[in-house]
Structure formats: C-alpha cells, structure tokens
A = this chain, B = another copy of it.
Amino acid sequence: MKFALIGAGVMGKAHAIALRSVATVFPDVPAPVREILADVDGSRAEQHAKAWGFRHATDDWLSACLAPEVDVVGICTPNHLHKEMVLAAIGAGKHVYCEKPLGLDGAEAASMYLAARDAGAKTAVGFNYTCNPMIRLARSIVEAGELGDPVSFSGSFEEDYLGDPQAPFGWRCARSTAGSGALNDLGSHLIHLAHFLVGRLASVYGNLTTVYRQRPDPNGGAWREVENEDMAQVLVQFESGMPGTFEISRVATGRKSGLAFRLTGSRGSLTFDQVRMNELRVYRAADHSGQAGYQTILAGPEHADYENFCPAPGHGLGINDLKVIELRNVLAGIAHDRAIEADFEEGWRVQAVIDAIEESDRNRCWTSPATTPLLAVPATGDGQGTAVHSGGQ
C-alpha cells in the first residue's frame, strides 16, 4: 500500500513516524510504502523525504494526489487546504487519511464526506485520542452496562498554547485558514470522544469568548484582529437524553494536553485525563462493601493493542503510539474493506456539532446539529463570539 503524504510539518512528522513503525508494531497489517512526500516548500520536502525515508519529494501536492502508483493520500496541511486536496485525491481514486478538523466547517466537511461516499473511498480523520487503549477500555465498560444508566458527561479540552496575550497572530486565529478557533482545533477531538463513548448530540448551547481580541502580527508592528473564539463553554444534551458540558480553551494557562472527562452513570463513573493517558479511573457503586472508591487502572497487555507495543503493564504508551494505532486502523480498513471508525462521516458530524455550537452562541438558543450532510449550510455571522463575553443582559 503506497502512501503520498502532503505536509512536512509537525503533523506530517507524526504521520511519518507512524508510517515507519506500524508494520513492526502490528505485523498483521501490510507495511505501507512511503512513496511521495509533498510540501509547498520543495526543499523541505526534499530534506524530510530523505530523513523520513520517502522515495520521492515534490512541491506539487496535486501531482502527489494524481500519481497512479499511490493508493492512499495523507493530508497534514492547515485546515483551509484540506478540501481541495481531499477532493482531488478522491477524484483520483485514492483513499484519504486527513488530519482534523476535516474542513473549515460542516459544509466543507459534508462535501468531502459525500464525495468519498460516492467514490467508495476509504477515509479517516486523525482523531487519535480515541485510539488509546484506555479509551477503548472506557467504551467497553460503558457498552457492558457497568455504569448503569447514563447520568451526565463533563468533558473538557484545555490548552494554553495561546495563553500568552502576546503570542503572535497565526493561521489558527483567522477564519479563512482555520474556521473556528478552539472548537475546530481542540473541540473536534472532544466531540469525537463524546460520540465515541456515549453517542450523538441532540442539542447544544454554547458561550464563545475571544479573550484576547488582538494579537501582534508576526510580520510587522501592527496588531491583528483575532477572528475566532479562544474559549467555548457549552451545555449539551445527548440523543440518549443525558445532559453534559463541554469546556474548550486554547488560553487555559497551565493546562497542557488537557483532554479530560467525567462520565457518570447510575451505578458507576469514569474519569480520564490525557496528561495521564495510561490511566483510567473507574468507580463502581457496588464494589466491596465499605470500600468503594475510584480505582486507577494502568494500561497493560490485557487492553486493546497495548501488547503490540509492550508486553509488560504500566510501561506506558506515548502520544505517537496513538498515531501508530490510528494508522493501523486505516491500513486494516483498506486491506479488509471494512469500516474505519473515525471516517469522513464522523469528521462531518463533529463539525456539524461545532456549527451548531457557533450558531447557538449567535442566536442564543439551543441548537441541534445537522443530521444529514445536505442540510449543512455555511455558517453566517461574525463567528467569533462576543468580545470578552457574550453572556446575559
């Protein structure tokens, strides 16, 4: 299976590491061939192709998509470039493995989803956090009914990469290149995680805030207006009737990789924090009499996929290992023509939720995510929440 990879930046490197390791870690999947590395910066493409073991380098992403020998196109470029590349790859009959968020918004994502569906392409979106054996364990506990009936879900994804008010304006701050802000970058992971664990959302009500409305222009002395939200605080209702909250921030001073949740049922509950990604905490109300309490389960070979990395418990996987599992899912899905869990349909559904959150903030009412891709329409309004706060009065 031959891969073209577009984008030789940070996520491109994560994909490249996975492409190299996957066949050793998972001997039962076909080894991917690193065929072409494309980057808008041709010399970077050359240099990284050599280091990362790609056969060819190019500064022409379209040629990489069209190359007849390529089976799968991986896309690791900024959000606004996904759509054109994805559609080209699908048009050329390729399978596509695209980083998140799938598009700038639900409409873009829907167009990619529909194109892939019509073409019969296998697709995947880079929602690697749900590849974690501990998250798989969480879902198996939920599915086995061990938590009882659903009561509530509190999820957050908080980082501080823009926590410094002086952090420069970057492509993530502009509507035209990023779409929404913290929602597209971090919220997309949290929404997918919620889908994965407890199902789809019926309705959302968001409060979006751009805490730092201007940031220094890295290209000069001026200040630029930030065009999307730094934070989103959201009330949610799942289709099951269970209520919950989402808290998403890129300005949460002190939080790094802060994807966390508490999932409560009538008979037990789970808590998880990505910074301790090898631990899942489980509470069972019916445990040993007088001795109930959260139990900290450490990742080990009894959990999905762990043993492929290490036979001994507690040794711990890292973030890049999740990318290896994700790639395995892509390879196995293509090889065996079976569904890939986080596919373009899921990529679109996640962004339909983000659209609904933005709309609920604009219109100040509970809003339901689109349930068919045809209904997805481009977002309107200024799209950046209200300055400082959009609440009340």
Which of B242, B300, B318 contacts A256, CB < 8 Å?
B300
A187 contacts chain B at the CB level, 8 A cutoff: no
Report whether B303 and A290 are in contact in the complex, using a CB–CB cutoff of 8 Å.
yes
A277 contacts chain B at the CB level, 8 A cutoff: yes
Report whether B298 and A309 are in contact in the complex, using a CB–CB cutoff of 8 Å.
no
Contacts of A316 in B (CB 8 A): 257, 274-275, 277, 316, 318-319
A195 contacts chain B at the CB level, 8 A cutoff: no
A251 contacts chain B at the CB level, 8 A cutoff: yes
Report whether B243 and A255 are in contact in the complex, using a CB–CB cutoff of 8 Å.
no
Report whether B290 and A268 are in contact in the complex, using a CB–CB cutoff of 8 Å.
no
**Distance A154 CA – B392 CA, assembled complex (angstroms):** 18
A287 contacts chain B at the CB level, 8 A cutoff: yes
Q: Which of A290-306 contact B (CB under 8 A)?
A: 290-298, 300, 302-303
Contact of A235 with B237 at beta-carbon distance under 8 Å, contacts A53-B31, A285-B254, A312-B256 already known = no
Report whether A392 and B231 are in contact in the complex, using a CB–CB cutoff of 8 Å.
no
Which of B48, B207, B264 contacts A27, CB < 8 Å?
B48
A367 contacts chain B at the CB level, 8 A cutoff: yes
Q: Which of A115-155 contact B (CB under 8 A)?
A: 137, 147-149, 151-152, 154
Contact of A315 with B264 at beta-carbon distance under 8 Å, contacts A24-B13, A243-B209 already known = no
Report whether B293 and A295 are in contact in the complex, using a CB–CB cutoff of 8 Å.
yes
Q: Which of A310-361 contact B (CB under 8 A)?
A: 310-321
A173 contacts chain B at the CB level, 8 A cutoff: no
Number of copies: 4
**Distance A292 CA – B310 CA, assembled complex (angstroms):** 18
**Distance A91 CA – B217 CA, assembled complex (angstroms):** 62
A58 contacts chain B at the CB level, 8 A cutoff: no
A241 contacts chain B at the CB level, 8 A cutoff: yes
Contact of A253 with B275 at beta-carbon distance under 8 Å, contacts A161-B312, A203-B391, A244-B233 already known = no
Contacts of A204 in B (CB 8 A): 391-392
A228 contacts chain B at the CB level, 8 A cutoff: no
Report whether A317 and B314 are in contact in the complex, using a CB–CB cutoff of 8 Å.
no
Report whether B17 and A21 are in contact in the complex, using a CB–CB cutoff of 8 Å.
yes
A98 contacts chain B at the CB level, 8 A cutoff: no
**Distance A10 CA – B231 CA, assembled complex (angstroms):** 42
Contacts of A247 in B (CB 8 A): 152, 154, 245
Contact of A296 with B296 at beta-carbon distance under 8 Å, contacts A253-B266, A316-B277 already known = yes
Contacts of A205 in B (CB 8 A): 205, 207, 235, 391-392
A197 contacts chain B at the CB level, 8 A cutoff: no
Report whether A393 and B368 are in contact in the complex, using a CB–CB cutoff of 8 Å.
yes
Report whether B293 and A257 are in contact in the complex, using a CB–CB cutoff of 8 Å.
no
Report whether A314 and B275 are in contact in the complex, using a CB–CB cutoff of 8 Å.
yes
Report whether B163 and A266 are in contact in the complex, using a CB–CB cutoff of 8 Å.
yes
Report whether A295 and B287 are in contact in the complex, using a CB–CB cutoff of 8 Å.
yes
What's the minimum C-beta distance from A282 to chain B, rounded to whole angstroms?
Answer: 7
What's the minimum C-beta distance from A174 to chain B, rounded to whole angstroms?
Answer: 20
Nearest B residue to A254, CB-CB: B283
Q: Which of A6-21 contact B (CB under 8 A)?
A: 10, 13-14, 16-17, 20-21
Taking A233-B245, A295-B295 as given, write out 11 further A-B residue pairs in contact, using a Cβ cutoff of 8 Å, ordered by the A residue number.
A20-B20, A152-B249, A154-B156, A207-B243, A209-B243, A254-B268, A257-B312, A290-B303, A294-B295, A310-B320, A318-B319
Residues of A that sit less than 8 Å from B by CB: 10, 13-14, 16-17, 20-21, 23-25, 27, 31, 47-48, 51-53, 137, 147-149, 151-152, 154, 156, 159-161, 163-165, 202-205, 207, 209, 211, 231, 233, 235-237, 241-245, 247, 249, 251-258, 262, 264-269, 274-278, 282-283, 285, 287, 289-298, 300, 302-303, 309-321, 364-368, 388-393
